[in-house]
Chains A and B, each alone.
Chain A
């Protein structure tokens, strides 16, 4: 059974640009959550999608957005990039909303560097 797949794994952008990250959940999983990980702030929740609807959102500015498609694949977008957006962006999938059983399956992440 394939795990959570995130693309691209690494990318470099400059300030002011935008970026789109993709996440393919485990087959059969309908919930996708996104987290940002930085050395200073650790793992922080961005948002969660279930059945193409955003169900929960963390404390991030509106520059961070996402969506989920009918096949449960998800994308997140960051517009007007800032240096502080440099981070590892992690996607996690679960069978039910929010990982009702508490078990989230994480991908290996997309490492974004903003210059």
Chain B
């Protein structure tokens, strides 16, 4: 079972920041937070991951609370192409024999 809780859906106006929350209150010390997204009819796409520090790449920023029990994925300037289901996953780092467990994710709709 997924160890994360996400809202089922969210809307965001095009050009505004999209803030997608994720609760992982039972996260262990060696578990990382990963974010993937799945655009309709495509395979999931890796976005970003982090342990306890905030992370940023060309796609998004990941903010993890100090107690690591929740995180927020931020898409700084959402476009229509960001409409997708976003999955938050926790998984131990370097655990080659632990598969990614996807929950139901958050369906983000970016509105023009």
Known: A42-B104, A100-B94. A106 touches B44 (CB 8 A): yes
Chain B binder among A11-19, A61-69, A72-80, A89-97: A89-97
Which of B94, B97, B104 contacts A56 (CB under 8 A)? B97
Q: Let me know if A25 is at the binding interface, CB within 8 A.
A: no
Known: A45-B101, A102-B32. A107 touches B43 (CB 8 A): yes
Q: Let me know if B99 is at the binding interface, CB within 8 A.
A: yes
Which of B43, B45, B93, B104 contacts A102 (CB under 8 A)? B93
Please, what's the 1-or-0 string for B10-50, where 1 marks a CB less than 8 Å from any CB in chain A? 00000000000000000000001010000001111110010
Interface size class of B (residues with CB under 8 A): 20 to 34
What separation, in Å, do the CA atoms of A43 and B99 have in the docked complex?
12
B1 to chain A, nearest CB (A): 11
Query: When the two chains form their complex, are residues A55 and B97 in contact, meaning their CB atoms are under 8 A apart?
Result: yes
Which of B49, B99, B103, B105 contacts A33 (CB under 8 A)? B99
Known: A42-B103, A42-B104, A104-B100. A98 touches B44 (CB 8 A): no
Neighbouring B residues of A50 by C-beta, 8 Å: 96
Neighbouring B residues of A105 by C-beta, 8 Å: 46
Neighbouring B residues of A108 by C-beta, 8 Å: 41-43
Identify the closest chain A residue to B105 (Cβ).
A42
Known: A42-B104, A102-B32, A102-B91. A92 touches B98 (CB 8 A): no
Identify the closest chain B residue to A58 (Cβ).
B99
What separation, in Å, do the CA atoms of A43 and B37 have in the docked complex?
12
Known: A42-B102, A42-B104, A43-B102. A98 touches B43 (CB 8 A): no
Tell me the chain A residues, 20-78 only, with Cβ under 8 Å from chain B. 31, 33, 35, 42-45, 48, 50, 55-56, 58
A73 to chain B, nearest CB (A): 17
A residues adjacent to B (C-beta < 8 A): 4, 31, 33, 35, 42-45, 48, 50, 55-56, 58, 90, 92, 96-109
Closest 10 CB pairs of A and B: A106-B43, A97-B96, A43-B102, A98-B96, A45-B99, A103-B46, A102-B34, A106-B44, A102-B49, A90-B43
